[in-house]
Chain A
Amino acid sequence: MLDFPKPLHQLHIFEKDGGLYAADLDKASLVEISAAIADVLKLAETRTTEEIIETLKTAYSDGDIEEAFETLIEYVGRGLLLNRGEKSDVLFFKKGDCPHFLLVVQGLAPDAVSDIENTSAGTHVALAYTIQALKDQAVLHFAGTQNRKLGENFYEVDLSLLDMVRIPEKIASQYEGILTIHSDRSQEGFIPLFRCPELPPILMQVHSVGGHGGTNVRSVLLHYTALRDYDAFTAPTDSVGEFYSQFVWDKGVFNTVANGVDLNLFRPMDKQQAKNELAKRVGDERIKTMPTVGYLSRFQPEKGASIYLKLAELNPHLLFLQAGQNEGRYAQRKIPENLIYIGFYDREKLPLIYNAFDVYCFPSVSGEETFGLTVLEAMACGVPPVISDFDGVPSVVGDAGLIVPTVPFEQDITSIASYASPLDFSEGVNLLLNDNSLRAAYAQKALNRAQTFTWKKTAQRILDLFSELNWKKKLFCENRLNTFFSSYWNTHQKRLEQKSIVLNMNSRYEMLVNPYGIFNQKVEDGLVISLLKEHTVREVETILSELIEDEDTAKAILARCYGFIQATA
């Protein structure tokens, strides 16, 4: 049963051809209603449920009233007619110069998205920190299922993907941009948004590259072609753009926006103190006295768990600590005695864990380590890392750690995309642990480097990108050119060949340039100009890559035709 009074959406109720309708202007939706529902809506904002029922009883049967409420519940469940949460126009009235952005994240509740404390997955942690930093300079609205305030400059709004496609102009008037995260859970993801030219610029974060049977790569390539001229991808490191540049022409749409690290939380502590504390928590005195190697991740093969196990077997003189989720995959294996599981900890405890490591080991082979947030966190705590030379992590570490040679697979096998030898890891680990001054030097380098990665910088980069994209949107010109294809007789070759003609009249019947000029072109040019009327530059890129063997020629054609469209718009 609905709990009245409730704020309503902006509604317009009307009668047409014997039917009664409610036009929900907030949701750009129309529903057919009964007279009883109309009467409920009249009283919805000022009366309680009981008062409304009492009032209705004078005109309707119990059955009609029940049916009216049932229908209303169904409509409200679809987000229609009644505000879910606060009244939207009071909550979201846009004022001042503070930019507003819409955050669209599939598969995550808004509370979870900003809950830094209780989230563990790297991408979610990064998102939470990014939001926190963005809120200092902008107002964020999370597209969800109700209207409410989540925090300072952070709101949830009752807005679905379908709503956005229905009211794109309204979205554009409210928001300077849309921030999304790519997910390969649904192949088509956000394609419907990219098909609305009215929507503001969209920045899509891309986080992982390999694995999952290629579905992720396939999905990113799909979104790549759907990007409008004023949309872009972001990725935490250059490795993503580098990876996709083997397939696509325009690597420039991949913008590196590095993650940051919370330097207030992750900082060096007294190492012995940290070890003592951890030993007490875990109940293993060896932590206090033995050199420790750390691993903080899910303990599974993709994350290098097998390599870590062998590393422990190779080095009985070292103590290997494993923190994080342990799903028990190795429960039936004989675990070396010098490898101990130290538990799963809240974020606020992680600095203690990192500081208890003498060296941080990151042997992930999954093809999904675009950044390696735990590596940066360990570095911020002054712990030198030993990592596999794969994905984006080496660009985070730079020369502040040891990078172990890794064999990348030409094709993924299941979720594994590379392999690093435990022997090589062992060499790196022992190098650092056997030389105190070397280890100290790397620790300092790691700390210095980590301090250059801040969430404030991340947020600023995002804002700068949106600013650039909004300029691109202002400059975007619609293609109204008309082209025509025909054959002609090549008198030299004595055969029929094909040509295209750029007509001197556009789709608005306006004369373009010289009224008596003839613009005969190659078929390729006419094809590109024709396709760019309703397809993106990147879709046309795909088509040309199929039809024209020489990539440089194809790129030149695309650039020329695109420039021509801009010049004549």
Chain B
Amino acid sequence: MKVETRYRVHQHRKFEQSGRKYAADLESDTIVEINDVEWELLDQNLTETLYATVERLRSKFKIEQIFEGIERLQRLSQRGQLSSPTWSTYIPSQSDRRLKLLVPFQFVPEKSVQDPVTNENRFHLLVALSKLAELETFNINGEPGHDFGGFVSNRDIIEKHSNFWFPWYAMDGYDGILLLGQFPSHDILYYSKNLPVLRCLESDRRMQALILESALNSYTAQKSTDLILSKATWLTDWLSEFGVDSAGVHTISEGINVVEPIGKELAKQHAAVLTDNPLFAQRPVVGIISGFEPNAGMRNILDIATANPHLVFFVYDSILADAYRNPLSNLVIFNASDESTRSVLPIFFQALDVVCFPAVPGTSPSLVLEAMAYGTPAVVISKYGLPPEIEGAGVLVQCPAGKGNDLEVPMQHLSETINQLLSDTERCEKYREVAKGFVAKYTWERTAQEIVRLFKQGSARANTRCQSSTPLSLCQPLFCRYYDPRTGMAYPSVYRQETNRFERLENALAEVLSKHHTPAEVESVFKHFQREVPLAGNGLNRSG
């Protein structure tokens, strides 16, 4: 999808004669007969947004008439009459007032699919964001509104007489769009072409396939004002394996939710009672915040637990907790599936001596940071290196590089690293101190502030941009077959009337696709047909 082309209306004069309306274009020396809608459109010199135009005129004309008028003026523009497409794009200017953000979100269905931690985090994010910006969501045609406790207002949309879809209502009145939804409704593909759009990617394990699909779609559709928001650097690194350039992704850690600490010894005792497993109070406790693929995860967890009978393993895994019924004696698999289990999770976290986690998309970054915030050093299993989020508070177990979700865990190295760390009290203490600082470092306020900053930065970047990423085409191509009498055959080609020349078809194909599609989309098409993209500099322009 491309940013909407803007038009400069030529110097003109409108007049009526013999019951008909005309516009005399003083720049192209042509006269165009116009109708009432087009008369009104020219009155505003096409400076309004599409939304404002339709809303202004719909009391006088049918929506179909309004669009027909707009489309006719665009067609005339292609013939050089009445207006010309401009090089710049329209982005509404921003003052210092509070931003108004649209958060279109199918809250109820998404809430039922995601786990409580994800839902809880989303709640905290919206609360924090509502202190810095006005948040609004849609309520279509009288559907029961969602109660957000007043920090996200409902905009009622009642459309009895038109067939507009959600994105129409995003066209005006907002400074940006925050997409939280993970369902593949392709919403980013529809939403306002003129506003910054930030799309949050979740780490919910049940939606990993959707996360990748969403990310790939979002990345391809991005304007320079848009960003994908990743919650962890390893998620960003994972996306880059699939061609998502890091320039289009911004990593913002979520805030973390910590309770008043009760001390490690007491926490271990509570953990022993809660799990009915006295080993929690007797041996070092190793936590694993698991985002492993379930079968591989089960193997890895059993391996590490079996190889270290002197340790107790507390595994947080929302899938294995339900599926695995006969754990080893030194292994507990836990899931915070409701308020009650969520409320005891901090006790388990405080009981940990070390927390391990694989740097994979399914691992919850907020739970990792939450566990560490109680003063727990980390062992990261990663193919990307030590994540900056935990620098100074953990060690790395480097995995071999590989594409996709596969993670080859060097189990012996992992086992050794955990045991070394547990026995190195000096290093552990250093890491603990850094980890305790996460409470102040990773807050919801900070996350919200960063999001608002990105919206403002996006708008500013758009306002200073003066040239679209793809030059406008002046000589419209005509795709045809070129007959060669020497061979008696006809070859696909392109004809330019203005220069009376035949050219290579691929050049013109890229050119015409670029009118309605981003450079990344054009690249996608050419990749599919295994052709080189002919236009120079046709990568997605991130410098904006």
Q: Mark B163-197, 1 if CB is under 8 A from A, else 0.
A: 11101100100000000000011100110000000
B29 (CB) vs chain A CBs: closest residue: A30
Report Cα–Cα, A217/B483, bound state, in Å. 7
Q: Which residues of B contact A31 (CB under 8 A)?
A: 29
Name the residue in A17, A412, A523 with the highest tally of chain B Cβ atoms < 10 Å from its Cβ: A523
**Interface pair A542/B30, CB less than 8 Å apart:** no
**Interface pair B521/A16, CB less than 8 Å apart:** no
Is A503 engaged at the interface, CB distance under 8 Å to the other chain? yes
**Interface pair A222/B500, CB less than 8 Å apart:** no
Q: Which residues of B contact A24 (CB under 8 A)?
A: 31
**Interface pair B31/A30, CB less than 8 Å apart:** yes
**Interface pair B26/A14, CB less than 8 Å apart:** no
CB distance from A78 to the nearest CB of B (A): 11
Report Cα–Cα, A533/B513, bound state, in Å. 11
Q: Which residues of B contact A248 (CB under 8 A)?
A: 481
Choose among B13, B17, B25, B479 the residue that contacts A25 (Cβ–Cβ < 8 A).
B17
Within residues 504 to 561 of chain A, which ones have a CB less than 8 A from any CB in chain B?
Answer: 504-505, 508-511, 515-516, 518, 523, 527, 530-531, 533-535, 539-540, 542-543, 545-547
Is A333 engaged at the interface, CB distance under 8 Å to the other chain? no
Report Cα–Cα, A546/B504, bound state, in Å. 11
Is B276 engaged at the interface, CB distance under 8 Å to the other chain? no
Supposing A23-B24, A23-B31, A226-B478 touch, asked if A12 and B15 sit within 8 A by C-beta, the answer is yes
Q: Which residues of B contact A218 (CB under 8 A)?
A: 482-483
Q: Which residues of A contact B19 (CB under 8 A)?
A: none
CB distance from B492 to the nearest CB of A (A): 4
CB distance from B293 to the nearest CB of A (A): 11
Choose among B30, B33, B63, B184 the residue that contacts A30 (Cβ–Cβ < 8 A).
B30
Is A191 engaged at the interface, CB distance under 8 Å to the other chain? yes
**Interface pair A539/B479, CB less than 8 Å apart:** yes
Supposing A412-B485, A484-B220, A488-B213 touch, asked if A523 and B186 sit within 8 A by C-beta, the answer is no
**Interface pair A509/B217, CB less than 8 Å apart:** no
Report Cα–Cα, A15/B8, bound state, in Å. 22
Report Cα–Cα, A166/B32, bound state, in Å. 8
Name the residue in B31, B221, B522 with the highest tally of chain A Cβ atoms < 10 Å from its Cβ: B31
Is A501 engaged at the interface, CB distance under 8 Å to the other chain? yes
Within residues 227 to 272 of chain A, which ones have a CB less than 8 A from any CB in chain B?
Answer: 247-248
**Interface pair B480/A222, CB less than 8 Å apart:** yes
**Interface pair B164/A510, CB less than 8 Å apart:** yes
Supposing A496-B242, A518-B184 touch, asked if A486 and B30 sit within 8 A by C-beta, the answer is no
Report Cα–Cα, A23/B14, bound state, in Å. 11
Supposing A191-B497, A487-B243, A503-B189 touch, asked if A539 and B480 sit within 8 A by C-beta, the answer is yes
Among B256-264, B382-390, B455-463, B525-533, which stretch is in contact with chain A? B525-533
**Interface pair B18/A10, CB less than 8 Å apart:** yes
**Interface pair B189/A410, CB less than 8 Å apart:** no
Q: Which residues of B contact A410 (CB under 8 A)?
A: 488
B171 (CB) vs chain A CBs: closest residue: A509
Q: Which residues of A contact B242 (CB under 8 A)?
A: 487, 489, 496
B79 (CB) vs chain A CBs: closest residue: A165
Is A411 engaged at the interface, CB distance under 8 Å to the other chain? yes
Within residues 195 to 231 of chain B, which ones have a CB less than 8 A from any CB in chain A?
Answer: 209, 212-213, 216-217, 220-221
CB distance from A545 to the nearest CB of B (A): 5
**Interface pair B29/A488, CB less than 8 Å apart:** no
Name the residue in A485, A531, A540 with the highest tally of chain B Cβ atoms < 10 Å from its Cβ: A485
Is A482 engaged at the interface, CB distance under 8 Å to the other chain? yes
**Interface pair B24/A14, CB less than 8 Å apart:** yes
Q: Which residues of A contact B488 (CB under 8 A)?
A: 410-411
Report Cα–Cα, A24/B216, bound state, in Å. 54
Q: Mark A172-212, 1 if CB is under 8 A from B, else 0.
A: 00000000000000011001100101000000000000000
Supposing A505-B165, A527-B525, A542-B505 touch, asked if A489 and B22 sit within 8 A by C-beta, the answer is no
**Interface pair A188/B189, CB less than 8 Å apart:** no
Is B413 engaged at the interface, CB distance under 8 Å to the other chain? no
**Interface pair B480/A225, CB less than 8 Å apart:** yes
Report Cα–Cα, A187/B478, bound state, in Å. 13
Report Cα–Cα, A158/B46, bound state, in Å. 35
Is A440 engaged at the interface, CB distance under 8 Å to the other chain? no
CB distance from A151 to the nearest CB of B (A): 30
Report Cα–Cα, A456/B352, bound state, in Å. 99
Q: Which residues of B contact A217 (CB under 8 A)?
A: 483, 485, 490
**Interface pair B525/A523, CB less than 8 Å apart:** yes
CB distance from A188 to the nearest CB of B (A): 5
**Interface pair A515/B165, CB less than 8 Å apart:** yes
**Interface pair B517/A485, CB less than 8 Å apart:** yes
CB distance from A119 to the nearest CB of B (A): 29
Q: Mark B258-272, 1 if CB is under 8 A from A, else 0.
A: 000000000000000
Is A21 engaged at the interface, CB distance under 8 Å to the other chain? yes
Q: Which residues of A contact B164 (CB under 8 A)?
A: 509-511
B487 (CB) vs chain A CBs: closest residue: A411
B501 (CB) vs chain A CBs: closest residue: A187
Report Cα–Cα, A29/B492, bound state, in Å. 38
Q: Which residues of A contact B528 (CB under 8 A)?
A: 497-498, 523
Is B404 engaged at the interface, CB distance under 8 Å to the other chain? yes
Choose among A23, A484, A498 the residue that contacts B186 (Cβ–Cβ < 8 A).
A484
Choose among A21, A491, A509, A545 the residue that contacts B165 (Cβ–Cβ < 8 A).
A509
Enumerate 26 A-B pairs (CB-CB under 8 Å) in ascending A order.
A12-B15, A12-B22, A23-B22, A25-B31, A191-B478, A195-B476, A197-B75, A217-B485, A221-B482, A225-B478, A225-B479, A482-B189, A485-B522, A487-B242, A487-B524, A497-B528, A498-B524, A509-B167, A511-B163, A515-B165, A518-B185, A523-B528, A530-B516, A543-B479, A543-B492, A543-B509
Measuring CB to CB, which residues of chain A are less than 8 angstroms from any residue of chain B?
Answer: 10, 12, 14, 16-17, 19, 21, 23-25, 28-31, 165-167, 169-170, 187-188, 191-192, 195, 197, 213-214, 217-218, 221-222, 224-226, 247-248, 410-412, 482, 484-489, 491, 494, 496-498, 501, 503-505, 508-511, 515-516, 518, 523, 527, 530-531, 533-535, 539-540, 542-543, 545-547
Q: Shortest 6 CB-CB distances between A and B: which pairs?
A: A214-B485, A546-B492, A498-B528, A539-B479, A485-B521, A511-B165
15 A-B pairs besides A496-B243, A501-B186, A515-B165 with CB distance below 8 A are A30-B26, A31-B29, A214-B483, A224-B480, A247-B490, A484-B220, A484-B221, A484-B517, A488-B212, A491-B404, A509-B164, A527-B525, A530-B513, A530-B517, A535-B512
